[in-house]
Homo-oligomer: A and B are copies of this chain.
């Protein structure tokens, strides 16, 4: 399940409550496209914002709707106690893997992060994907930490920031260095959609995609082009999406862009974000509307 496209859908809300109807629309679109995996409650799926009842409901709905496609679920929390509890909730719901970022309020030390993964992986019955997202967690994994954590039981994948792939040589060097550090069996997946094509061209095993949460076929086409040796044309196709990548940057991440797109497309009714998060408004929303029309995302 850690090869190819892993789509990261929104967890849609309606008046502060999880919206199962909108969620079903989103997941059905992913199963129709036959994505390789679905990650419910990734960052875009708002894992840190959910209470336990919501987490259970979202996990159960995702598994029930996934139509045999493997489901991963985010389990991060500030306390190890809560991470363990989250893992228990989503495993009981039947997920096939878990995604764990070292969430922080007080910035974490390496030995704290190692101990977190050590404790959690020792208590898992499904594979775990290590999730580096320095923007949201204020934590950057050192090489030594990747080396150590990747050898813990049940660690099957890592989801790394795409930034190094902004430069071809740097990206290839980063991936080569990571391959030296971790077991051969470990899947290395790229995130930050802007860098997805570059990451796949450099040899990443998977693309963990926010855009694919609503537009799986668009991302599948890019991946297929890379696989078919059409890397240059995939890169050009990705560049044509730069108005979207630009909106991701402007609005501090893909979440609000995807939530607004879900509204524009009628996938959800109006604002699907919980307060205080807000969808795009004004010129940013108009720009997204225009781009959705002109780019023909699918």
Query: Looking at chain A, what size class is its interface with the partner chain?
Result: 20 to 34
Listed stretches A102-110, A195-203, A286-294; interface member: A102-110
Q: Output the nearest chain B residue to A78 by Cβ-Cβ distance.
A: B49
Tell me which of B112, B115, B116, B253 contacts A107 (CB under 8 A): B253
Using Cβ atoms and an 8 Å threshold, which residues of chain B touch A109?
A: 251-252, 278
Is residue A122 contacting chain B, with contact meaning CB distance below 8 A? no
- Complexed CA–CA distance, A113 and B252 (Å): 14
Tell me which of B49, B80, B106 contacts A252 (CB under 8 A): B106
Using Cβ atoms and an 8 Å threshold, which residues of chain B touch A106?
A: 43, 136, 252-253, 255-256, 277
The reply to whether B79 and A275 form a contact with Cβ atoms under 8 Å apart is yes
- Count the copies: 2
Is residue A127 contacting chain B, with contact meaning CB distance below 8 A? no
Is residue A94 contacting chain B, with contact meaning CB distance below 8 A? no
| A49-B79, A78-B49, A274-B81 given; A252·B119 CB < 8 A | no
| A252-B106, A253-B107 given; A276·B80 CB < 8 A | yes
Tell me which of B251, B253, B276 contacts A115 (CB under 8 A): B276
The reply to whether B107 and A278 form a contact with Cβ atoms under 8 Å apart is no
Is residue A16 contacting chain B, with contact meaning CB distance below 8 A? yes
Using Cβ atoms and an 8 Å threshold, which residues of chain B touch A20?
A: none
Instruction: List 6 contacting pairs A-B, 8 Å CB cutoff, sorted by A.
Output: A16-B81, A49-B78, A106-B255, A106-B256, A107-B253, A115-B278
